[in-house]
Amino acid sequence: MQPDAEQKAQLVQIRKRAETNLAENVMPFWATHTWDEQYGGFLTRLDREGRRLDDSEKFLMMQIRMISSLSAAHRHGLRDRGYLELACKGYDFLVNHMWDKTNGGFFHSVARDGTPNTTRKNTDVHAYALTGLTEHYRASERREVLDRALQVFDLLMAEAADRDLGFIEDFDGGEWPVLNDEQMNLGDRTDIKTVDMHTNVMEGFLYLARTTGDAAHLNALREVTELIRTKGIDPQHGCSITAFDRDWNPISDGSGNMTTCYGLNIEMAWLMLEAIDLLGESWPDWRPTILGLIDHALAFGFDHKRGGFAAYGPMHGSVVDADELAPDRMLKPWWVQAEGLNALLDAWLWSEAQRYLDAFLKLFDWVWIRQIDHECGGWYQDTDWETGTPATTDKGREYKTSFHTSRALIRVASALGLLLSHGSGWSPCLCSGQRPKDI
């Protein structure tokens, strides 16, 4: 596949900008400001310039996502910045202070000095732990890191698996609300299943199975991917349903609305594409599902005038017209734009359909002009639908780190580098540079 001359010039510029933003903006900002020199571990609640807004608590997600992005940046070629060494120190803090040495699994958060704070054990974050641990193993080749990932996988399968119906949200026996219930407007409900959590499980299993090639890991990946396709995606509209009860009966949000998350749908799409390739599934059989998720987001949640995806919206109809939903639906979150870059580029490389390339070019333009803070570093969290004005200039929180942005920049730069050099259709090597590793 070769773009025309004008498109090629745009893609050459985008590749250069992706590499530059990764190496000179995103990674330096997060690597410089997050490490706790006194106690170890990462603190990611930061203002625009990287000053700490709160250093009282260290969340599991903070540690995992920083370890993952530092390791991935090292693997991508940024090997003279000390990123791998910092990731190794982060891993040591993680296992020394957050691993439950009695029952296994990671505590949800600790105090700054590493004392256990919230002992909740959430499936979603442990799935992310698989992503971060396997990424770190591939960079460091420390066998103990892979062994820890294998322990997490076994723990999830033993404690969090729910019959043949996926996974429960938490496996510590507590009555916890859904982890990101505020984001999904679920009203502090318990005993709920979300496609969000199951997509993150699919992601963790994908990273692990791609690293080990083990039959048990591949089978677990196959089962959760198929479960999402058959239970989590509405067959009429082709988008995910936000929440379900334990038996996968759809339920409305806390305001009685049925909504979908555009960012989740497009992230799910490219993860599914990589999963079915690893599993040897028939691409044509999955094509309507995968491209349908992206097409739905483009039809109802994408700003075709300026570029950028909205946060969430109705299952049918434009997000702009969905006045029954809260005004924050019109924000363009950093992670949705990052996953949009991943999905649109993959969709174009896979299908060669011009609409995906057009949307990718427009989205990157929005990100470059509005989402990236070229002065202080990092990406703004949420920007206004029309003006691009940041809703807040704060850069970090317990979940917002360098993870989504650095991964998207690496995938875009890697894919375009190979495409512009050789020309190719979609392949996991083109976008991720991943192959099973002998262990």
The confidence band for 285, taking pLDDT boundaries of 50, 70 and 90, is very high
pLDDT value of residue 256 = 76
pLDDT value of residue 181 = 59
Give pLDDT tens digits for 59-92: 999 999 999 999 999 999 999 999 999 999 999 9
| 189 pLDDT higher than 80 | no
Give pLDDT tens digits for 246-269: 999 998 877 777 899 999 999 999
The 3 state secondary structure assigned to the chain is CCCCHHHHHHHHHHHHHHHHHHHHHHHHHHHHHCECCCCCCECCCECCCCCECCCCEEEHHHHHHHHHHHHHHHHHCCCCCCHHHHHHHHHHHHHHHHECCCCCCECCEEECCCCEEECCCEHHHHHHHHHHHHHHHHHHCCHHHHHHHHHHHHHHHHHHECCCCCECCECCCCCCCCCCHHHHCCCCCCCCEEHHHHHHHHHHHHHHHHHHCCHHHHHHHHHHHHHHHHHHECCCCCCECCEECCCCCEECCCCCCCEECHHHHHHHHHHHHHHHHHHCCCHHHHHHHHHHHHHHHHHHHECCCCCCECCCEECCCCHHHCCCCCHHHHCEEHHHHHHHHHHHHHHHHHHCCHHHHHHHHHHHHHHHHHHECCCCCCECCEECCCCCCECCCCCCCCCCCCHHHHHHHHHHHHHHHHHHHHCCCCCHHHHHCCCCCCC
pLDDT value of residue 313 = 94
Domains of the chain, with CATH numbers?
A: 5-432 (1.50.10.10)
Give pLDDT tens digits for 12-36: 999 999 999 999 999 999 999 999 9
pLDDT value of residue 184 = 61
The confidence band for 175, taking pLDDT boundaries of 50, 70 and 90, is confident
| Percentage of the residues of the chain whose pLDDT score is greater than 90 | 84
pLDDT value of residue 409 = 98
Which of 235-244, 335-344, 380-389 is predicted with the least confidence, judged by mean pLDDT?
Answer: 235-244
pLDDT value of residue 52 = 97
Give pLDDT tens digits for 219-237: 999 999 999 999 999 999 9
Kindly state the average pLDDT of the residues 403-426: 91
pLDDT value of residue 432 = 63
pLDDT value of residue 340 = 98
**Is the pTM value of this prediction over 0.85?**
yes
pLDDT value of residue 439 = 30
pLDDT value of residue 437 = 34
pLDDT value of residue 405 = 98
Kindly state the average pLDDT of the residues 280-284: 94
The confidence band for 1, taking pLDDT boundaries of 50, 70 and 90, is low
- Average pLDDT over all residues of the chain: 93
The confidence band for 436, taking pLDDT boundaries of 50, 70 and 90, is very low
